[in-house]
Structure 1
């Protein structure tokens, strides 16, 4: 199976990122999170006031710091805003000592596996064997401060991936900072300093990576088999992952010298599925990889499109094969069962693969596989209810009526 990696143009730049250009961290209301006891202390030192993170209010703590540890993680941190990450939307995350922000589960693993990884949802500014028992600190906080959001948006608007989003108005952000961190086993002779920002307006999402000027000195710990990995991973999706081109090699230490924004050591990635309809393009290679709609309802019908640099203008109007599968790999079938037991024929129109959607028979993650000649492209999307939870009884009636309509239509055509 052939996948397409998201590729960003990287250039050398004369400017660099001093610590003053990082978004602020280690502020006046830092609470200490103990990675062993899983308790939060309402100060920057361990005391007798340790309580569950769910008992700590934002008035008590504006920011959190991990206690000295190796391979530790934050708690399952409930954030105050939904973060769209491609076809999924998250309200909880983990900040891991080893340079990874993860959804669903923590990442204690110190030696990075190559992306794409199945069933793992990761944003990794520098996945390596961080050890802060000897030196260094890890901070994280969420913010809705207008001035900080404006500062993050200035960075985002400087990147080509924000093209067509000049009106992007972020409403929430996570700031995670690995400050002067050492490596396993308790080494203090070399340190790294880097930062990750997760920024969203609820529809569009961006990730910003900042690397301090002359601030990346080591690439692996004593027990690691490979060097650090930078990028992101969306549940094994063969389209929506990114790996920095020198990841897992010693050359990853030079990441502070390159950029896709014009400032060395700074990178911006777009990580949502929302369609930008105002953009004017001259070629398919200028488009991000998108599945639209990314959250169809279980009785949706209509068509689904897969857009991006996988396709080009010369393949326009070529016939394609579309296969919809659920998260278990079963072919999605409509009612009656014979209706969608075989692949569905679609077509390429300019930069879009257009596939008629079946009726889905279960909620949750699904895959769309598009086959063009001998090449396969896979995108993920999430099937949901067509209405709010309080109206599920109405949804059930609508689903029953829709299925009866399709059964009747199928029987008529069969005759």
Structure 2
């Protein structure tokens, strides 16, 4: 398997194999990729846009190529911030993550004082690449026991080897958020390749959370030194990956939390009442 940072320039028609839990899709392409890993979706300068080097800034408003449902509402745009989060309604530039529910919806794989003005790169793109859509669809059907779902839109944002503001060490974090939708169902993947620092000088620690504007779900270890354990944990049995169904006001996720987290709890969530393993543990997490 090629290193996550390796670059494979595809100048001729070659086969690419996307690998991941529940999916191994071999495709043909003439596109140049910086290959991801089994965890990270493909990213890099050959396919992505690059967020400007700015301590608390980010790229322009992202106008979506598909109207996408998030938390019970349809969206045609959202904001992306270098500090490790997506804001769905308003442009937030605060480097300090909220410690409680706020009145604006956001998706935060790692909200902290990220500073890419010195080191690190932040990539992003929307795509309807057919091979990637097949790969994503296969994964989600495995995670959420979906029968009728075919992804038509993907957004990928990757923070590669980023530091916190004023860092004096060589510690770097690499993480990713992937949004996948068919215009009716929407899913978010938080992928953690490397978390070597847990926040900005512990003031405060970083936040990993999904907030619908009235309430939120926070990942285990958030706002504590245990934030870095998300790399070894998962709720879909793929180390470093956390997956959520986020199109409705209710959030759903599946499988067993694994790894060194403050909360080790088994949850089995599904959009509809279908047969699943360990149905005695079938639960529904509703924002409240």
**Normalization by structure 1: what TM-score?**
0.52
Q: What CA distance in whole angstroms lies between the structure 1 residues aligned with 2:100 and 2:142?
A: 27
- Residues 229 and 276 of structure 1, relative CA distance in 2, 3 Å threshold: closer
Match of 1:77 in 2: 62
Q: What CA distance in whole angstroms lies between the structure 2 residues aligned with 1:99 and 1:217?
A: 15
Q: How many matched pairs?
A: 231
Matched, 1:167 2:148: yes
Q: What CA distance in whole angstroms lies between the structure 1 residues aligned with 2:272 and 2:229?
A: 36
SS at match of 1:24: coil
Alpha-carbon shift at residue 154 of structure 1 (Å): 3.1
Q: What CA distance in whole angstroms lies between the structure 2 residues aligned with 1:69 and 1:277?
A: 43
Match of 1:8 in 2: none
Match of 1:190 in 2: 171
Cα deviation, 1:320-379, whole Å, max 9, x if unaligned, reads: xxxxxxxxxxxxxxxxxxxxxxxxxxxxxxxxxxxxxxxxxxxxxxxxxxxxxxxxx85x
RMSD: 2.3
- Residues 187 and 121 of structure 1, relative CA distance in 2, 3 Å threshold: farther
SS at match of 2:107: strand
Q: What CA distance in whole angstroms lies between the structure 1 residues aligned with 2:217 and 2:125?
A: 25
Q: What CA distance in whole angstroms lies between the structure 2 residues aligned with 1:277 and 1:110?
A: 37
Q: Unaligned regions of 5+ residues in structure 1, if any?
A: 1-17, 30-62, 290-376, 379-415
Comparing both structures, which one devotes a greater share of its residues to helix? 1
2:110 to 104, 126, 130: 126
Q: What CA distance in whole angstroms lies between the structure 1 residues aligned with 2:209 and 2:272?
A: 27
1:220 to 199, 213, 227: 199
8 A Cα contact 2:45 2:123, kept in partner:
no
- Residues 276 and 181 of structure 1, relative CA distance in 2, 3 Å threshold: closer
Match of 2:212 in 1: 234
SS at match of 1:252: helix
Q: What CA distance in whole angstroms lies between the structure 2 residues aligned with 1:117 and 1:74?
A: 23
- 1:24-39 equivalences under 5 Å are 24-28=42-46
Match of 1:201 in 2: 182
Cα deviation, 1:110-149, whole Å, max 9, x if unaligned, reads: 121124212x110001011101122101111001112111
Cα deviation, 1:74-123, whole Å, max 9, x if unaligned, reads: 211101011111211111111110000111122211121124212x1100
8 A Cα contact 2:112 2:205, kept in partner:
yes
Alpha-carbon shift at residue 285 of structure 1 (Å): 4.5
Q: What CA distance in whole angstroms lies between the structure 2 residues aligned with 1:276 and 1:269?
A: 11
Alpha-carbon shift at residue 66 of structure 1 (Å): 1.4
Runs of 4+ in 1 over 4 A off after TM superposition: 274-278, 280-285
8 A Cα contact 1:95 1:140, kept in partner:
no
8 A Cα contact 1:134 1:188, kept in partner:
no
1:139 to 104, 119, 123: 123
Q: What CA distance in whole angstroms lies between the structure 2 residues aligned with 1:208 and 1:27?
A: 21
**Normalization by structure 2: what TM-score?**
0.74
Cα deviation, 1:30-78, whole Å, max 9, x if unaligned, reads: xxxxxxxxxxxxxxxxxxxxxxxxxxxxxxxxx3111221011221110
1:104 to 79, 85, 89: 89
Q: What CA distance in whole angstroms lies between the structure 1 residues aligned with 2:138 and 2:169?
A: 35
Q: Unaligned regions of 5+ residues in structure 2, if any?
A: 1-34, 250-269
Q: What CA distance in whole angstroms lies between the structure 2 residues aligned with 1:249 and 1:19?
A: 28
1:287 to 273, 277, 284: 284
Alpha-carbon shift at residue 153 of structure 1 (Å): 2.5
Cα deviation, 1:137-166, whole Å, max 9, x if unaligned, reads: 11110011121112222332332xx13x23
8 A Cα contact 1:132 1:186, kept in partner:
no
1:113 to 98, 107, 117: 98
Match of 2:240 in 1: 265
